[in-house]
Structure 1
Amino acid sequence: MSDKAVKVGSGQAWWVWGIGVFAYLVAVTQRTSFGVAGLEATERFDASASILATFSVVQLVVYAALQIPVGLMIDKFGSRRLIIFGAVLMAIGQMLLALATSVPAGLVGRFFVGAGDAMTFVSVIRLISAWFPGYRVPMLTQFTGMVGQLGQLLSLVPFVALLHWAGWAPSFLSLAALCVIAFVLSLVAVRDQPRGTAPLPAGPQAKSLAVLREAWHEPGTRLGFWTHFSLQFTSNVFLLAWGYPFLVSGQGLDPTVASGLMTIFVVVALVFGPLFGAVVSRHPLRRSTLALTIIILIAASWATVLLWPGRAPIAVLVVLMTLVAVGGPGSMIGFDFARTFNAPRIIGTATGIVNVGGFTAALVSVYFIGLILDLQFAAAGGSGELYNLGAFRWALAFQFIPLALGALGIVVTRRKTRAHLAETGVVLVPLLQAIAERRWRRGGHRGI
């Protein structure tokens, strides 16, 4: 291999990013596969709703708990090692799950899947900062999330088809094989930074706690945390645990129709990812307003479906899933806060903090939704259907709590962030005033 320097944004950069995104796509496939296998898992493990929720909760707990340690490790060891190790862990986890016949064995498998998944996305985001100029980072971050979500399509279509045709073990072993491919490609092609460039600044030599404290002390990091908290969790709840059972058992849809409708998440990511990337690039001072708007739309869509008399029409369900899916690319705004408000030497740590948000909200929501379903089933004396529409209405309404908490967190932390910006001379006028001034200028009144 030549020692010739490689330019930032070069052709090799696109290869490195492409393989990194493929590894993330594989991770998303592993993450979402159990959600579409929920009904089969109920039979295989003879599990109640709360036990079924525990599989997703374990995965999410591990994922969320590892985000900050992973961010610290990226700042110290680089992205390549973590992407490779993550692929190995996910392969082990899916092999264990394929062979599991008891709940404890299955939970161990999901533990490994969550650990491997936790190492992938944040590592790829760090690769973007290392290999591309700053003006391309917001758009490439959105494209990473967008392309990675194609992993949902793999779990919704070929995996579901294989699950119904070949059964549990062959299906999950095929997912393990996909992780092996990601491992080999990452080992061969991924590098932490362009050859010949100065090493990325390492984090402070102080203890990890000091690095974490420095990143969290930045108001922009906390703003990113609450943005991700609010926007990411609803799509995770839908995709990782309760969306498919809600559509099939609650709304009475055919399983094939339900799987087809859930592909909306992929389509929305493909459409809104580039759109949000362009908006954030052009209007970086209005990112929190965009996030709050999306939260309001998600809450309104859930309220409409849960209050609908009887089963909701397909069109209403499509609107619900579209708006919930918008939260996925919308949550990428949180990572842009981490990037723009933190020094390069601690971006990995700050990104890890942000990524904790949505998955923490998701694991709490997934667990309590399952618990509420079980409590209602027990209150009915164990008679009737476990997953009925009435029970789902009360259980899924739990999501309004983290939605409200996240919106409050955004409002509070953006005030602190804007105050911090004002100290540097950047004063943000109210949105309506900015729109009025822009119209005034367009009307030929410049200089008046």
Structure 2
Amino acid sequence: MSGWARGLYSVLMTLGQPLLRRKLARRGRQEPGYLEAVDERFGHYSQPVETNSELVWVHAVSLGETRTAAMLLKALRKQHPALRLLLTHGTATGREEGRALLKSIGQPGDIQVWQPWDSPAAVKRFFTHFKPRLGLLMETEIWPNVIAQAKTRGMPLVLVNGRLSAKSLKQAQGMAALSLPAYGALLAVYAQTELDAGRFRQLGAPVQGVFGNLKFDATPDAAQLATGQRWRKALAQPVLMFASSREGEEDLFFKQIKAFVHVQYAQSAMNSVASQLAGGCKALVVPRHPQRFDEVAALATRHGLRVSRRSHWTGSPADSMEAMNADVWLGDSLGEMALYYGLSDVALLGGSFAPLGGQNLIEAAACGCPVVMGPHTFNFTEAAELAEAEGAALRVAGMAQGVQAGLALAADAAGLAKAVAAGLAFAARNRGATARTLEALRGYL
């Protein structure tokens, strides 16, 4: 690796450790999980390692990556029962999801810790303590000192389910002295799409396969999905969901909802589609980040909207006077996306109505919930384009058009049925990445 670039980077990462501690303390006031085992981030561990355990290290930085890793790890454990896992994360939601995963499939000798801060000393302590024999990085996680240390120790390091947006490629090329040696030191990259593979190759990464997206192999929770669908039938009115909404987008959404719900704001210009919402269509918003649940509820209230929270329901919203009188439902629970998609007729795609790259639309398609997406889907370019081409998703220019399109689709029984079928077919046709990845990893395991 280029000596001067990584040397300067290492100095900055070392000097940045006090800033990281302050950031964790600040985040911990909202999410206590960030205050847990802070010293692990700097390479100090209390977990004993079994002699000759030969841990397989899997790094899944956040909630989405951990859920994706779960499919691969369940399959790995089934094929290799003696395999022992070292699972690392960077966010509190990722760690919580990883804890639940290990509770489900874990065995004695499995370990879960925070990822090491990418300073030379912390990374060295991580590898010295755990001595993993193989590392699997999920999706986009490239850390120069981690990769350099793995190469020095002769530990194979593979990027699994790899994706690289045009924006990320440009950023990496802008730091070529640091990023090119890091990408080039990976043993293999298994990319999601040919577009991703081409971008990885521009950075010198050893692309060994294009296997599709592991997320297509996820099976929605059948009980949750059935419950949501049952609740939707009991409502006898459409539900428009804003799925995995991000900061800045909810304000746009609530402005549209307010215009439709409060007739005095739009009565003179209200068309038949808009009048549906004023007349009873339900709006559901599920924020991407759980620490923002209270913030989003307060934002809706400031817009003059009545809010009912999922955490207050004891059963179907149709059985709750509070829910039925509310203008906005807030999905303030974790792990219930299948229920929310089952409850909804149409979903707006979070992250796509602001320049954030969009969230994953695959789960919505697998649940049979048509998607309306905004102009910004660069994090999932190929999946978004395929879904649009196959009729599983609609593309609009902005939030106003998105709400209008969602309501119009919900009111069109034939069009809605066609979009549902297209989504289910789209999800089914793209499965198989897990099996292809397992086959490629066979030689390392």
Please identify which structure carries the higher helix content.
1
Please identify which structure carries the higher strand content.
2
Q: TM-score range by the shorter chain?
A: under 0.3
TM-score between the two structures when normalised by the length of structure 2: 0.26
TM-score between the two structures when normalised by the length of structure 1: 0.26
